[in-house]
Amino acid sequence: MSAPIRFTKMHGLGNDYVYVNTFEETVGDAAALARAVSDRHFGIGSDGLILIGPSETADVSMRIFNADGSEAQMCGNGIRCVAKYARDHGLTKGDEVRVETRAGVKTIRVVLENGKVVRARVDMGIPRLLRREIPMTGPDEERCIEAPLSVGGQDCSVTCVSMGNPHCVIFVPDVAHVALDRVGPMIEHHPVFPERVNVHFVTVNGRAEVTMRTWERGSGITWACGTGASAVCVAGALTRRTERAIRAHLPGGDLELDWAADEHLYMTGPATEVFSGLWPGV
């Protein structure tokens, strides 16, 4: 029987994960652990599992496993919580935390209150726009901006962006009327996306404000998606619906996005620690 694993539950705008500090804990089958802890009836309850560990190129590393056990490249809400954990728990010092991900090393500037991190600004990097970078089928060097996509016998217009992981953005008059639990998985598993895709429906409220709902690849409907909100910011600017700096309203709260002049996307939002405990060994 394996030893119990100490974990910390954290969330960014309700996008919640179970975090394990692998500087101190040993995790064998991470995919199986992700499925077990994510179960909201028989586990801890989360959108997935994030492992925080050592890195040769950054302050810490992170690995993200979705609720279904699949491994993702990047998580915007998750990385803010990783930076909070690293700073609050003494894994790093200062107001800047560098985190190694499967999408590269990301730099996070943290904001403290009473000695604890409450918010963080993440340099999400330069968005990738070519079909081969997302990835999706079609001409490798072509962008997918308001391209037609047939879903369930109906045509929709999609704009696709990679923020280190794949996103499909669809602008609609009212996100509240979208049957996300039905349409989301159809687009996630659409054959045009060989590695599946995160799906976002967006209503533009003004040049600097949008409302969005998300179906995350491997996790389903989530309260927030940081990489997704970043992709929405890019898609809004590319389609001339919004400015390059916006506020995104998600079910769990708001994120501030800025596609800056240096072409990097900067995302700012809260990070919250909920509780810690021991997951029994198996």
Tokens of 235: 């898609």
CA R_g for the chain: 18
Q: Name residue, tokens 């499925």.
A: 35
Q: What are phi and psi of 102, to 5 degrees?
A: -70, -15
Q: Write the DSSP string, 95-156.
A: SEEEEEETTEEEEEEEEEETTEEEEEEEE----B-BGGGTT-SS-TT-B-SSEEEEETTEEE
Find the helix or strand (DSSP H, E) in which 246 lies. Answer: strand 245-250
Among residues 81, 156, 160, 225, the one annotated as catalytic is: 225
Q: Is 156 a catalytic residue?
A: no
Picking from 122, 20, 14, the residue whose alpha carbon sits closest to that of residue 64 is: 20
Q: Is 233 a catalytic residue?
A: no
Tokens of 108: 């996070």
Q: Name residue, tokens 């997918």.
A: 144
Q: Name residue, tokens 């700096």.
A: 245
Catalytically annotated residues? 75, 225
